[in-house]
Amino acid sequence: MKGNTTSWVVACVGAVVAGVGTMVGGTLGAGITGFGLAHIVLGILDMFRPTVRQ
């Protein structure tokens, strides 16, 4: 799998988790939403990371 594909998967899984967190609601839902948003940010940041050529 290419590195860019992995970044997209991480960002999409984060979006799903953030959506679930908003449906749960409350303090637990806020934690789940934050966890999902962190994955979205990390996935997007990974897309801009320079690649290492071997």
The 10s digit of each residue's pLDDT in 2-50 is: 668 888 999 999 999 999 999 998 999 999 999 999 999 999 998 888 7
Residues 6+ away with beta carbon under 8 Å from 14: 36, 37, 38, 39, 40, 41, 42, 43
> Any idea where the domains of the chain sit in the sequence?
3-48
- Say what the pLDDT of residue 42 is: 93
- Say what the pLDDT of residue 50 is: 77
**Are 11 and 48 a contacting pair, CB within 8 Å?**
no
Exposure on the CB side of residue 18, measured as CA atoms within 13 A: 13
pTM: 0.82
- Say what the pLDDT of residue 27 is: 94
Please check the confidence at residue 51 and state whether its pLDDT lies above 90: no
